[in-house]
Amino acid sequence: MSGKRTGQVQRKTKETSVQVSVDIDGSGTTDISTGIGFFDHMLGQLGKHGLFDLAIHVEGDLHIDSHHTVEDTSLALGEAFAIALGDKSGLRRFGHASVPLDEVLAEASVDLSGRPYVVHSEPSGMAPMVGAFPTTLTRHIVESFAAQAKICIHLHVRYGRDAHHIIEAQFKALARALREASERDPRVQGIPSTKGVL
């Protein structure tokens, strides 16, 4: 249960070039540049409130739209997170957080199960854009991250009005839940599963 837990991923397609580095045992230091200001802001929340050190640098086909950049970044981040988690020996495995942000309340529950699954809900009728970020991409970010990190994520906004707040509260709640789940627990011996593998 000793040693730093880090993951590095490079993902290059005809649409994007992504470099991601994750240190789960960090202090929340981030160096993020995707070309999409609001997405950078949200990834910064993930690092800050999860206490994950994140370095994320992306060049994408933003002349088309932001979809490919957001998707490929999320996939690479999930893969790097999975690498950093290793075999998950000695970890808490489960995490939950309830995070308020002004008029919004978001709740996240995660299981480092090895089985990707997402249940997601947020208020309907949100503004379609926050800056250059389509608000419909929030769910896709979570699904892409979960698919590569092999994590079960339940993420729900209980109530809220402002689209910026609604999305930001989700990232903060997810960060705190991931932080709890990935913490080492001295009472846990080996893999936290009766199967013996996650």
Residue 1 pLDDT > 90, yes or no? Answer: no
Minimal CA–CA distance to 152: which of 195, 104, 196, 96?
96
- State residue 40's pLDDT score: 98
Tell me the mean pLDDT in the region 33-43: 98
Cα 62 to its chain centre, rounded Å, is 21
Rounded CA separation 84/138 (Å):
23
- H/E run at residue 143: helix 137-149
pLDDT tens for 62-83 read: 999 999 999 999 999 999 999 9
Q: Identity (one letter) of the amino acid at 10? A: Q
Are 78 and 148 in contact, with CB atoms under 8 Å apart?
Answer: yes
- H/E run at residue 44: helix 37-50
> How many residues in total does the chain contain?
198
| pLDDT confidence band for 4 (50 / 70 / 90) | confident
Token pair in block for residue 192: 């936290």
The pTM is what? 0.97
Rounded CA separation 22/14 (Å):
24
- State residue 190's pLDDT score: 95
| pLDDT confidence band for 2 (50 / 70 / 90) | low
Tell me the mean pLDDT in the region 43-50: 98
Percent share of the chain, pLDDT over 70: 99
How big is the CA angle at 135 (ends 118 and 93), to the nearest 5 degrees?
A: 30
Token pair in block for residue 96: 């939950």
Token pair in block for residue 121: 């809900």
Tell me the mean pLDDT in the region 151-178: 98
Minimal CA–CA distance to 187: which of 114, 93, 108?
93
Tell me the mean pLDDT in the region 32-38: 98
How big is the CA angle at 154 (ends 171 and 107), to the nearest 5 degrees?
A: 55
Are 171 and 42 in contact, with CB atoms under 8 Å apart?
Answer: yes
Minimal CA–CA distance to 73: which of 32, 106, 104?
32
Question: Could you give the domains of the chain?
Answer: 6-182 (3.30.230.40)
pLDDT tens for 82-138 read: 999 999 999 999 999 999 999 999 999 999 999 999 999 999 999 999 999 999 999
Q: CA-CA distances (angstroms) from residue 76 to 47, 50, 54, 57, 79? A: 15, 18, 12, 11, 5
Tell me the mean pLDDT in the region 138-155: 98
